[in-house]
Amino acid sequence: MNWISNVVRPKIRNFLNRREVPENLWVKCPETGQMVFHKDLEANQYVIPGSGYHMRMSPVDRLKTTFDDGAYDEVALPEVVIDPLKFRDERKYIDRLKDARTKTGAQDAVKVATGLLEALPVTVAVQDFGFMGGSLGMAAGEAVVTGLQTAAAKKTPFIMFAASGGARMQEGILSLMQMPRTTVAIQELREVKQPYIVVLTNPTTGGVTASYAMLGDVQISEPGALIGFAGPRVIEQTIREKLPDGFQRAEYLYEHGMLDMVVHRHQMRETLARICRIMVKAPGVPPKGRLPRPAAA
Amino acid sequence: MRSYLDFEKPVAELEAKVEELRALSSPDDGVSIADEVQRLEAKASEALSQLYSSLTPWQKTLVARHPARPHFGDFAAGLFTDFTPLAGDRKYGEDEAIIGGFARFRGEAVCVLGHEKGSTTETRIRHNFGMARPEGYRKAARIMELADRFGLPLISLVDTAGAYPGIGAEERGQAEAIARSTDACLALGAPNVAVVIGEGGSGGAIAIATANKVLMLEHAVYSVISPEGAASILWRDTAKAQDAATNMKITAQDLLKFGVVDGIVREPVGGAHRDAKAAIAATGDAIAEALASLAGLDADAVRKARRAKFLAIGRTL
């Protein structure tokens, strides 16, 4: 807390009536400590200009920066049973869920949308780490399934921006069942021969990595993203050793053959478009300007 | 010497007394000692069946992990003939936390897969306590592909605390290996049956457990994370493992209600470790019944049925 945040914060809260209002006008780079003005950060797609550190991005910002002209249609997601286990730990799960919904304005961790990417119709799902750690419960699982099935029905590529701490433990076995459920939907997409592209963002671990986030036809990651099955703390506790530098980071996974590429956020749109267009045999995008929308779509 | 779990103490005391009396008695003793032995034995077995008819989820967790509980090797010996294990993932190594290969089940040619925890210090280390590394899951996927290609029904016996969390496992793509194994299991054109015989630990279990029919032994547990893990993350206190076990709904009885498992295999009174032979025989009957219910389906129908089954889970609770 500095004097700026103390004085200015209540005011911004009022006139910037949007979610994810920055705690501060200035955002600190977690890597270098560099301070960046929040508007500059937003304009730079939440990449710290000096260090290149990729900050977390809201699903809405992600969708806007992925689709042509920031335009997309959100796909309605099926309702699921809330709190099937009537779970409580130190607090009731249902209260935690309500808090997350209030905080993010979203129903759960995954949003799905359709729209154009360099004039090619695509279906995109975004997982929000800000919603209970992006945890995979019934709602998120159903959203991923719906996304894949939408892509299969519309015959479009499916792009998954994954981010998750893993399964939503408060939904017990029913959260674990989202691993096979999403895998079934991937198989359905494969049958109609549409591409499935995974973009791993920081962090993606646990049951999400051990299911749909590692089954892409093409595996992309943002730089520096933490990606793994077991979290670093669990491994440290098990083997009682300090983990090597860069362990489980995107670059490490790339070197170990687990990723096709590590792509800077500024090049993401272009990269996804190029790959999708080749995979569905659409003509290439000219260096400047966009192609008209394909007639068949 | 039988090993007892803490909550079995009343039974342990009665059974100890029976042993004591037996040791003391000789053939020329009166009828009274034999009577007393009989009376105590009846009391012990009554206490045991009482205890086991109302185990808490945490107690079931302990039973599922009982060191004397039959493991994969015991089931394989009891259920299969011509068992021919295959080894290696053809990419990096051999992982004996998962065992699998060809076999005959009641005469029928099948593929089998399962986690092996080991039963002595030496075998536990060899099998890494049933916690597989990527090689184990890649071997499993290899065997599933063989089952698919040759139309051999697949029987999976699930018994793991979870996939192994280690540097090497992560380095070689633990998550991807699990995901591919699940993928291969769901793509099988041959019918498959999975039985959770002890612990069904999260992703490490699901990798070989997505079957047309999923069964659980009566006192087995199946969960997204171990009770200890959930306690440490959600309660920030590992001592809350009992609460976590209760809250997470991990028992066969709970999972049957959720439609996550299709059937429960009854265990002998006092748990599978009291009478492994009976437990294994009952498991064999349940597998045979499950396979019979899938007989006659072609590859496409088998796949479709399995997919529909998993997609339906949770939709009608």
The pLDDT of residue B30 is 65
Q: Is the pLDDT of residue A200 over 60?
A: yes
The model's pLDDT over B256-288, given as tens digits with 9 standing for 90+, comes to 999 999 999 999 999 999 999 999 999 999 999
Strand partners, B57: none
The pLDDT of residue A297 is 42
The model's pLDDT over A151-192, given as tens digits with 9 standing for 90+, comes to 999 999 999 999 999 999 999 999 999 999 999 999 999 999
Q: Is the pLDDT of residue A288 over 70?
A: no
The pLDDT of residue A77 is 97
> Is the distance from CB of A273 to CB of A285 less than 8 angstroms?
yes
CA distance linking residue A277 with residue A284, whole number of Å: 7
Question: Which stretch of A119-128, A148-157, B11-20, B209-218 has the lowest confidence by average pLDDT?
Answer: B11-20
Q: Is the pLDDT of residue B32 over 90?
A: no
Q: List, in order of start, the domains of chain A with CATH numbers.
A: 20-55 (no CATH), 57-289 (3.90.226.10)
Q: Is the pLDDT of residue A14 over 70?
A: no
Residues of A in contact with B240 (CB under 8 A): 89
The pLDDT of residue A89 is 86
Nearest chain B CA: its distance from A24 CA (Å): 29
The C-alpha angle with vertex B143 and arms to B138 and B147, in degrees rounded to 5, equals 145
> Is the distance from CB of A198 to CB of A162 less than 8 angstroms?
yes
* Three-state DSSP class for residue A105: coil
CA distance linking residue B236 with residue A179, whole number of Å: 26
Residues of A in contact with B307 (CB under 8 A): 184, 187-188
Interface of A with B in 240-269 (CB under 8 A): 241, 243-244, 247-248, 256-258
Residues of B in contact with A79 (CB under 8 A): none
The pLDDT of residue B29 is 64
DSSP string, A74-99: EPP-----S-TT--BSSSBHHHHHHH
The C-alpha angle with vertex B108 and arms to B102 and B110, in degrees rounded to 5, equals 30
One-letter identity of residue A226: L
The C-alpha angle with vertex A150 and arms to A279 and A223, in degrees rounded to 5, equals 55
> Is the distance from CB of B224 to CB of A167 less than 8 angstroms?
yes
* Three-state DSSP class for residue A280: coil
CA distance linking residue A41 with residue A48, whole number of Å: 6
Domain ranges in chain B?
A: 6-54, 61-312
Higher-pLDDT residue of B210, B27: B210
Strand partners, B104: B81, B109
Cβ-in-10-Å burial (0-12, 13-18, 19+) of B186 comes to buried
Q: Per DSSP, which regions of chain A are E strands?
A: 26-28, 35-37, 72-74, 110-117, 120-127, 158-164, 196-204, 218-221, 261-262
The pLDDT of residue B302 is 98
Higher-pLDDT residue of B192, B29: B192
Q: Is the pLDDT of residue A105 over 60?
A: yes
Number of inter-chain CB pairs under 8 A, A vs B:
167
CA distance linking residue A43 with residue A41, whole number of Å: 5
CA distance linking residue A109 with residue A21, whole number of Å: 18
Question: Which stretch of A110-114, A232-236, B290-294 has the lowest confidence by average pLDDT?
Answer: A232-236
pLDDT above 70: percentage of residues in chain B? 98
Give the confidence band of B35 by pLDDT, cuts at 50, 70, 90.
Answer: confident
Instruction: Calculate mean pLDDT across residues B164-170.
Output: 94
Q: Is the pLDDT of residue B85 over 70?
A: yes
Residue A128: phi and psi, rounded to 5, are -100, 110
Task: Measure the CA dihedral B114/A135/B170/B97, to 10°.
Answer: -10
Q: Give the CA distances from residue A173 to residues A29, A151, A178, A235, in Å, rounded to whole numbers and listed in that order.
A: 38, 27, 9, 23
CB contact under 8 A, A84 and B317: yes
Tokens representing A267? 């090049």
The model's pLDDT over A202-256, given as tens digits with 9 standing for 90+, comes to 999 999 999 999 999 999 999 999 999 998 888 888 888 788 889 999 999 999 9
Q: Does B222 touch chain A (CB under 8 A)?
A: yes
Q: Is the pLDDT of residue A3 over 80?
A: no
One-letter identity of residue A252: Y
Task: Measure the CA dihedral A274/A276/A279/A281, to 10°.
Answer: -70
Q: Which of B179, B233, B313 is closest, CB to CB, to A215?
A: B179
CA distance linking residue A135 with residue A18, whole number of Å: 23
Expressed in angstroms, the distance from the first to the final Cα of chain B is: 45
Residues of B in contact with A136 (CB under 8 A): none
Q: From the candidates B148, B160, B164, B170, which should be mutated to test the interface with A, based on the most A CB atoms within 10 A?
A: B170
pLDDT above 90: percentage of residues in chain B? 90
* Three-state DSSP class for residue A37: strand
The mean predicted confidence, pLDDT, of chain B is 95
> Is the distance from CB of A194 to CB of A158 less than 8 angstroms?
yes
The model's pLDDT over A52-87, given as tens digits with 9 standing for 90+, comes to 999 999 999 999 999 999 999 999 999 999 999 999
The mean predicted confidence, pLDDT, of chain A is 90
DSSP string, chain B: -----GGGHHHHHHHHHHHHHHHH--TTS-HHHHHHHHHHHHHHHHHHHHHHHT--HHHHHHHHT-TTS--HHHHHHHHEEEEEEE---SSS---TTEEEEEEEETTEEEEEEEE---SSHHHHHHTGGG---HHHHHHHHHHHHHHHHHT--EEEEEEES-S---HHHHHTTHHHHHHHHHHHHHH-SS-EEEEEEEEEEHHHHHTTT--SEEEEETT-EEESS-HHHHIIIIIS-GGGHHHHHHHHT-BHHHHHHHTS-SEEEPPPTT-TTT-HHHHHHHHHHHHHHHHHHHTT--HHHHHHHHHHHHHHTTT--
The pLDDT of residue B24 is 80
Buried b (16+ CB within 10 A) or exposed e, B255-291: beebbbbbebbebbbbbbbbbbeebbebbbebbeebb
CA distance linking residue A291 with residue B12, whole number of Å: 79
Strand partners, B80: B105
Higher-pLDDT residue of A127, B21: A127
Tokens representing B140? 């499993």
Nearest chain B CA: its distance from A291 CA (Å): 36
Q: Is the pLDDT of residue A1 over 50?
A: no
The C-alpha angle with vertex B216 and arms to B212 and B222, in degrees rounded to 5, equals 100
What is the fold, at CATH topology level, of the domain defined by B61-312? 2-enoyl-CoA Hydratase; Chain A, domain 1 (3.90.226)
Q: Does A239 touch chain B (CB under 8 A)?
A: yes
Instruction: Calculate mean pLDDT across residues B174-199.
Output: 98
One-letter identity of residue A260: D
Q: Cα B1 to chain center, whole Å?
A: 24
DSSP string, A191-243: HTT--EEEEEEEEE-HHHHTTGGG--SEEEE-TT-BB-SS-HHHHHHHH-SPP
Query: Which of B104, B95, B107, B186 is CA-nearest to residue B138?
Result: B95
The pLDDT of residue A152 is 98
Interface of A with B in 167-226 (CB under 8 A): 167, 169-177, 179-181, 183-188, 205-207, 209-215
Q: Is the pLDDT of residue B100 over 50?
A: yes
Residues of A in contact with B249 (CB under 8 A): 85, 172-173
pLDDT above 70: percentage of residues in chain A? 88
The interface pTM score, or ipTM, of the predicted complex is: 0.95
Residues of A in contact with B172 (CB under 8 A): 256
Instruction: Calculate mean pLDDT across residues A284-296.
Output: 62
Instruction: Calculate mean pLDDT across residues B121-150.
Output: 97
Higher-pLDDT residue of B177, A290: B177
Q: From the candidates A184, A196, A211, A217, which should be mutated to test the interface with B, based on the most B CB atoms within 10 A?
A: A184
Expressed in angstroms, the distance from the first to the final Cα of chain A is: 51
CA distance linking residue B199 with residue B182, whole number of Å: 18
Search chain B and give the residue with CA nearest A209. Answer: B175
Q: Is the pLDDT of residue A7 over 80?
A: no
